[in-house]
Amino acid sequence: MIGVMIPGERVNWLKMGGWLLALAVFGGLCFYWSRPQQVLTRGIVAAAKRFPEYDDRWAGQIRELAGRYVRALLQNRPDREMNRLAVVAVAEGCRDPFVRYLRLKRVFEFQMVGDESLAREGWSIQRELEECEYPVFLRAYSASRALDVWDFAFAQERRERNVRLQLHALSWRHTMEVIRDGNSSETLVRPLCDLLDDYFRTPGESRVDAWRRIDAALEARFGDCATIHFLRGRRAIRLGWEARGHGYASTVTREGWAKLGQELLVARRELELAWKLDPKDPQTAEKMITVCLGQGTSRAEMEEWFQRGLSTGRDCSDLCSNKIYWLAPRWYGSDLEQREFARECLARPEWGNRVALNLWSIHSDRQDVGKLPVSYFAQPEVWADIKQSFEAFFRRNPDAYSWHVRFAYHAWLAKDWEVLRREIALGDPARSNLERIGGREVYERMAADAKALGSGP
């Protein structure tokens, strides 16, 4: 019966039409959101084929890693499986510079030590990315990371200054290109701006000029965006603490206190604007805890910003570290409050990749600030905390090889020979900062004791 429809049927057809419209809109949005990811991913895959040592056997892995990498950047969420796959691929012989960059980034994140071979690898990777014309955004990230690694390895050596200047120039040029690219998103450029901002540490006109140029480029591309306000807030914190100094309150001048107060007011205003524009960035909440610390505001406000940071669902390792610092006895907390929160972090690994280390870090800080002998770490209750902290950390970060030497050191001090033997075997002294455990001589004594099951220190 054409043209005849009972009321119930009419309602069902209207519902179906609504659902079809919703699906069409959702599908369009998904296409829009996925298009930048597809373009950036294809750019990496296409460039990989221009690499002189390209090997088709790695094509599938390169494509998967490129997709994972771009998705992680656009969603601002770390991909631990991507890191593991890159490390494995390089170990098995993959020479692609993009894959090697991912491996270098992962190694350096958990190493943070002056490794000359790693620094030279970073410079080699950057040259290959440039020669094969990989996408500019990748070259910008790689140059920034290579510069970090280079600074750690050759911070005191002028003979390597030329490479550093080249990396700095590449980082600046490529970052500016990415910001000005009409296809770039604020999420993609934000970490690059953070890294670029960090390189201008020395006070002076050159730093002020660089900050102005970064802000101008961001405003021209994105208008009044969260990234500009976040960067201004973070800079204000830096300026305030530079004026104050990092010593105890008794060492701060009247002028230092005044400058800190002025800059923290600026920081608060800018960071609150940044949060209003982007309430999904835990870094903003993290920096606001620093503002609360400097201004001496209530614990309730600090906790409010902490909860805001957690609500983003992103890696909040730095946010938790800032709360640990706020709870230090020399600020507004106590040993007990620090320890209770560190144990809470231990029970909540989803808060971040490094939160499990907070229980170890409070003991490390306590020994350092209190100028206690290293035998402090051997106390049964202290060693129990440290052991629990490292074991939880390695469960979440099994490839953080450089930390095994530090864990072995604490086991050696505690005369826990079983843990010492295991951790010495897993650690790599060449990729660890041995100065943090007393130098190479101490490491060699540890290794000897692990082999002989000797008596330790």
pLDDT at 34: 64
CA-to-CA separations, 358 to 88, 309, 324, 330, 448, in angstroms, rounded: 28, 17, 7, 17, 30
pLDDT of residue 115: 76
- Find, among 225, 216, 176, the residue nearest to 196 by Cα: 176
In one-letter notation, the amino acid at residue 55 is D
Among 29-33, 106-110, 115-119, 385-389, name the one with the lowest average pLDDT. Answer: 29-33
String of DSSP letters for 165-202: HHHHHHHHHHHHHHHH-TT--HHHHHHHHHHHHHT--S
Contact indicator for 420, 413 with CB cutoff of 8 Å: no
What mean pLDDT value characterizes the chain? 89
Please give the average per-residue pLDDT across 357-369, as a whole number: 96
**Which pLDDT value is given to residue 183?**
84
Write out pLDDT tens, residues 292-349. 999 999 999 999 999 999 999 999 999 999 999 999 999 999 999 999 999 999 999 9
| Cβ burial, residue 282 (10 Å; 0-12/13-18/19+) | buried
pLDDT at 406: 94
Residue type, 334: S
**Distance (Å, whole) CA 293 – CA 299:** 9
Distances, alpha carbon 436 to alpha carbons 22, 231, 349, 399, 432, in Å: 58, 32, 26, 20, 9
pLDDT at 111: 65
Q: How confident is the model at residue 159 (pLDDT cuts 50, 70, 90)?
A: low
Measured CA to CA in angstroms, residue 451 lies from 201, 307, 426, 446, 457 at distances of: 45, 47, 14, 9, 15
CB–CB of 51/96 below 8 Å?
yes
State in Å, rounded, how far the first CA of the chain is from the last one.
96
The predicted structure's pLDDT at residue 23:
45
pLDDT at 457 over 70: no
CA dihedral 430, 128, 103, 423 (to 10 degrees): -10
- Over residues 389-415, mean pLDDT: 92
Percent of the chain with pLDDT over 90: 73
Q: What is the pLDDT of residue 156?
A: 60
The DSSP letter of residue 400 is: -
Instruction: Pick the more confident residue, 26 or 317.
Output: 317
pLDDT confidence of residue 24: 46
Within 8 A by CB and 6+ apart from 287, the residues are 230, 233, 234, 237, 267, 271
Count CB atoms within 10 A of the CB of residue 185: 13
Write the CA distances from 35 to 17, 77, 186, 187, 221, integer angstroms. 27, 18, 16, 15, 20
Q: Would you state the pLDDT for residue 113?
A: 60
Query: d(Cα 211, Cα 312) in Å, to the nearest integer?
Result: 28
Segment 126-146 shows an average pLDDT of 97
pTM of the complete model: 0.86
Q: Is the pLDDT of residue 22 over 70?
A: no
* Selection from 92-96, 147-151, 192-196, 241-245 with the highest mean pLDDT: 92-96
Which pLDDT does position 280 carry in this prediction?
93
CA 264 from centre of chain: 24
pLDDT value of residue 157: 63
Write the DSSP assignment of 57-109 as a string of letters: GGHHHHHHHHHHHHHHHHHT---HHHHHHHHHHHHTT---HHHHHHHHHHHHH
